[in-house]
Amino acid sequence: MRSTTQRPASEGISVRRSRAHGAPRRRGLGPIASLGLLSSILVSLLASSSAPTPLYALYQARWGFSPITVTVVFGVYAVAVLVALLIFGKISDHVGRRPVLIVALIGQTAAMATFITAGGVDALLAARVVQGLSTGAAVGALGAGMLDLDARKGGFLNSFAPTIGTASGALVSGLIVQYLPAPTHLVYYVLLGVFVVQALAVTGLNETVGRKPGALASMAPEFKLPRSARASVAIAAPVMFAVWALTGLYGALGPALTRTLVHSTSVVWGGLPLFVLAGSAGLAVVLLRKAATRSVMLIGIGSLVVGVVITLVSIGSGTGGTPSVIGFFIGGAISGFGFGSGFQGGIRLVVPQVEPHERAGVLSLLYVVCYSGLGVPAVIGGVLVVHGGGLVRTSWEYGIAVIVLALAALAGLVLNGRRAEHVAVVRPEAGSLSVSDPEAASLAQTSSQG
């Protein structure tokens, strides 16, 4: 007992919860190292998802497929993530975080091997499906695991790590492809090695939840929310859908738009729009981490609308030239700030409303909303590029749809403003919460104070 009370507060909470839930006691990584490992896995998963983006032009030239196929390859990943979230989103609450992560990382290594040996579109689609399934299985366990270890840092890393992963994957992949040998293979070899190392490291994690019955039943897809989180999810979901739809625009159509504006075939340009968007999103997460939750949501919506307007004006002002290029990237940076703010605000609004054993399932549901926004509009956009008004007109239609979604979310946030403020600060049973679950109480305080 003495050793427990002498540990840092976050570790003590984690240890007490693990024992309360019957998790086995074992020596392993400490809480700081465990947080670092879990966040690094989230970064690498999102990096691997954006790594193929600069390569689509090479694949298209080599295998001769249409822009529709590009967006299908992009969208099938999102669909696979959705399927995995619906089936495996809550399973780590029953079998533990560690087994789910090990299996997911093995799946990622298989996906990288498939990319390396791909000889056509079929193999590319298969790799994206395996990649999406393993990512979807992991994100709920990763998010819940970080919150188990440390409420404040875990909440921050849940918002920050995905943006860093998406940004680094797109840019690093483009640089590797442009300047290093084996352009369609090397980036996947690097990621494969990273996933193998991380899988080995996960075996040293201490489990933060104990096994409990109901694992098979939890795999039946259902849309079920704890009553305490329903109001906050209704407010957060439209914002999160809109910001991830914007990511779909930059991921699926961004490379083609950039090549049109700069008249360059360099794959670095292909990955740069997504890098700017995600990098700015990460900056927003850092700068707004101490802002009130509702303020973060409002900043996110406002930045999203302004950034998309600037982007659309830029791509519609000409087929090339410096003003259009500069405006395009400025718009992407402002939009990215809205992405980071809206994503962070949504998580901070919802997570404090659920109990620890409900976290993985609720986080998975939030990711269902996100990946629906990422995949569905992107595929529709690809169809419209070929059978509609072309690249620029489709981008305008896509951007306007994102703006409409953002404004709808703003209306919901304003109409439910008082309710949102109340929900973000304290739950109805907050009096008992502060006694029975100090970590959850800390999360509620974090949401209201940043």
All structural domains of the chain with their residue ranges = 29-210+226-449
Between 306 and 369, whose confidence is greater?
306
Q: How far apart (Å, rounded) are the C-alpha atoms in residues 431 and 275?
A: 44
Question: What is the rounded average pLDDT of the residues 238-254?
Answer: 81
What is the structure's pLDDT at 221? 67
What is the structure's pLDDT at 346? 85
- Band of the pLDDT at 153, cuts 50, 70, 90? confident
Question: What is the rounded average pLDDT of the residues 316-340?
Answer: 77
User: pLDDT at residue 316 above 70?
Assistant: yes
What percentage of the chain has pLDDT greater than the value 90?
19
Q: What is the pLDDT of residues 183-214, one digit of tens each?
A: 889 999 999 999 999 999 999 888 877 777 87
Between 445 and 33, whose confidence is greater?
33
Residue 140 CB-density burial (10 A; 0-12 exposed, 13-18 middle, 19+ buried): buried
Nearest alpha-carbon partner for 437 in 351, 329, 371, 374: 351
Can you identify the CATH homologous superfamily of domain 29-210+226-449? MFS general substrate transporter like domains (1.20.1250.20)
What number of other Cβ atoms are within 10 A of residue 182's Cβ? 12
Nearest alpha-carbon partner for 254 in 76, 399, 119, 150: 399
* Most confident listed range (9-18, 155-164, 191-200, 317-326): 191-200
User: pLDDT at residue 125 above 90?
Assistant: yes
Q: Which of 47-51, 72-76, 108-112, 295-299 has the lowest mean pLDDT?
A: 72-76
Q: How far apart (Å, rounded) are the C-alpha atoms in residues 420 and 236?
A: 10
What is the structure's pLDDT at 202? 92
What is the CA 298 to chain-centroid distance, rounded?
Answer: 20
Instruction: Estimate the crossing angle of helix 293-316 against helix 230-252, to 10 degrees.
Output: 30
- Phi, psi for 214 (deg, rounded to 5): 105, 10
- Band of the pLDDT at 42, cuts 50, 70, 90? very high
Question: What is the rounded average pLDDT of the residues 263-270?
Answer: 77
Mean pLDDT (the chain) is: 78
What percentage of the chain has pLDDT greater than the value 70?
83
User: pLDDT at residue 105 above 90?
Assistant: yes
What is the structure's pLDDT at 44? 94
Nearest alpha-carbon partner for 43 in 118, 108, 128, 121: 108
Q: Where are the alpha helices (DSSP H) in 180-292?
A: 186-202, 215-218, 230-252, 254-262, 267-287
